[in-house]
A and B are shown apart, each in its own frame.
Chain A
Amino acid sequence: MKFKDYYAILGVERGASEEDIKKAYRRLARKYHPDVSKEPQAEARFKEMGEAYATLKDPEKRAAYDQLGQQRPGEEFRPPPEWSTQFGEGAGGFDEMDLADLFAGLTGRRARSGRGGPAPAMRGQDYEVTAPITLEDAFHGTHLSLDLTTTEFDEQGTPKRVPHIIKARIPKGATEGQTLRLPGQGGKGIGGGPSGDIYLHISLRPHRLYRASGHDLFLDLPLTPWEAGLGASVEVPTLAGLVNLRVPPGTRTGQQLRLTGRGLPKPGGGAGDLYAIAQIVMPPELSERQRGLLKELAAESTFNPRQHFH
């Protein structure tokens, strides 16, 4: 079992009062709670501090934790042998347990000693998982394998962490911020209760060409000045392959040219649109002849794009 320094995780001294521990937890929770935080690794940090707080706020668990002494975080250690009956009631020893399981086991033991008899039927735990997918995945649908560690309970109610690989078929049309459900794939129920669910929060990975907004896609479309001025037919990549887009004469930078139904498919049918945003680009170098032609155009044109300045 690996040691975790719960005091260091919460940033408090080992002799901190209950009030100081609560304050430290609340300050950190405000910063790292996954529902409100944009900090990188917020979810993992919050899980760690929740685990630390669950142990240190409970006087009995804190006293037991303090008995372990101070060790280096991550260092392997074995709890005192007599703890196997106190905490886990002989459920296969400590080898498969995490430090959090050890102290969660204490809660289970207290609940059982107060209640007596078999555990009542309880629904298994639900889990929330972020599922990052590409735009291609969202367009075609995809298969995902995600690592998830669940907490399962044996007949004595002793918790144990069990690693799983969640295999999910994601339907086409999932986009940023949507939540899908895998029914019955969460934690196992207790005492004959049903299994929990897994909630998959879809997050779209950045794409080298497209930007998504709902089911619409946006693509920068570089055009030469003469394509924009004279009009042209250009090839544009879509998630379904190349299509020809007619650029009308006199197209301006920033103008959005819509390709109807070429965005992401929608769950109920239909699809979003793809918008090609015109960007007029000058060649990096001009030959003498090209410069001459531009000078000729400048002499010929009376167009003043800055007329509104005056």
Chain B
Amino acid sequence: MTGEYSDALWPDERQRMPLRALAEVSGLTEDELLQLVDCGALAPSSESSGQHTFSAVSITIARTARRLRDDFELEPHSVAVLLAYLDRIRELEAQLRALQARLPR
């Protein structure tokens, strides 16, 4: 991991991954991911031939869910509630930043 500089990449908005791949990159089980889908915390981008596929945004959500599961020892429903609050906090922080940027120093 030393030597040349590597390109930092934007999330690929067009990327779609199957459930198994999301489980691998997030560290959650497929069953836990499906429970998060049932709770509304994860939104599959499409369902083709009975299989969910997920966008790049789901990676960030699922990785956060895995951290919350491990670090607070939570089950999927509690993780889903916490994810909803975190999303709301991020939204409010962005609004606060936007308002503060408009205030003169």
Contacts and interface: CB of A to CB of B under 8 A. Distances in A.
Interface in B66-105: 67-68, 71-73, 82, 86, 89-90, 94, 97-98, 100-102, 104-105
Contacts of B6: 167-169, 182, 185
- Considering residues B3, B8, B9, which has the most beta carbons from chain A within 10 angstroms of its beta carbon? B8
B35 interface: no
A249 interface: no
Contact of B101 (A166, A180, A183, A211): A211
A218 B9 CA distance: 27
A176 B8 contact: no
Contacts of A212: 97, 101
Contacts of B94: 177, 214
A280 B64 CA distance: 46
Nearest to A128: B63
A171 interface: yes
Contact of A181 (B8, B73, B101): B8
A26 interface: yes
A167 B2 contact: yes
- Range class of the A interface residue count: 35 or more
Contacts, number: 94
B45 interface: no
B104 A216 contact: no
B102 A123 contact: no
Contacts of B47: none
A29 B72 contact: yes
Contacts of A166: 1
B2 A164 contact: yes
B101 A167 contact: no
A299 interface: no
Nearest to A30: B72
A188 to B, nearest CB: 9
B11 A213 contact: no
Nearest to A188: B1
Contacts of A181: 8-9, 11
A213 B101 contact: yes
Contacts of A183: 9
A242 interface: no
B79 to A, nearest CB: 11
B13 to A, nearest CB: 9
A218 B8 contact: no
Contacts of B2: 164-165, 167
A171 B4 contact: no
B67 A213 contact: no
Given A185-B1, A277-B104, 8 more contacts: A26-B72, A33-B67, A123-B25, A126-B63, A143-B5, A148-B1, A164-B1, A165-B1
Interface of A: 26, 29-30, 33, 35-36, 46, 50, 123, 126, 128, 143, 148, 150, 164-171, 174, 176-183, 185, 197, 199-200, 211-214, 216-218, 220, 254, 256, 267, 275, 277, 279
